Amino acid sequence: MKSILIIGTKDGGKSTTITEICKQLQPSEVFKLDINKKKLINANIEDIFNNTFIIKVKGKFILVVAGAPTEQNFKLKVIIQITIELDIEISFLIVAKRTSERKKGFNTIKDISDTSTLIHTERLNKISLTNLNDLLSFKQNQKWIERINKLKKLVIENI
């Protein structure tokens, strides 16, 4: 299994970036992983934000941790263990992580390296927006488009 890691500050755009990657991948199925109940719930692509999801792309399951493990209060290794218990063969991981993990016992990078091959780490720098027009069209910003295209391509090439 391979993975990419998206690192950023609390409101640095991690989940927004991951949401857009998932939309661009055009999954055939989307599920929210209810970690507490250890079950999958049918979801829509628009639901992907600040939580954990599983999407199916080209017949492969991708675990999408759009909310950093510290923000969800679940370690990545626990989330992966739940997918194993549910008998879901994950082919790829897309994981958000806060710039610094301050919660005791959390080490997302170690959890990733214990279960997959990290092929890319994307450190997000918030795209500067100077006025309301920018806010309404930041997804047309060239830096944003290049970021999403690069990450989408990495996923497609490695699933």
What residue segments make up the domains of the chain, in order of their start? 2-158
pLDDT of residue 11: 80
pLDDT of residue 141: 73
> 76-85 and 108-115 are packed helices; what angle lies between their axes, rounded to 10 degrees?
40
What are the backbone angles phi and psi of residue 105, rounded to the nearest 5°? Answer: 90, -5
Bridge partners of 3, per DSSP, are 93, 118
Q: Where are the alpha helices (DSSP H) in the chain?
A: 14-25, 69-72, 76-85, 108-115, 132-137, 142-158
Rounded Cα gap, residues 89 and 87, in angstroms: 6
Average pLDDT over residues 101-120: 94
pLDDT of residue 135: 53
pLDDT tens-digit series, residues 62-105 = 999 999 999 999 999 999 999 999 999 999 999 999 998 888 99
Say which amino acid occupies 48: I
Q: Which residue's entry shows tokens 């990657």? A: 21
pLDDT tens-digit series, residues 91-100 = 999 999 999 8
Rounded Cα gap, residues 135 and 129, in angstroms: 6
pLDDT of residue 9: 86
pLDDT tens-digit series, residues 5-46 = 999 988 888 999 999 999 999 999 999 999 999 999 999 999
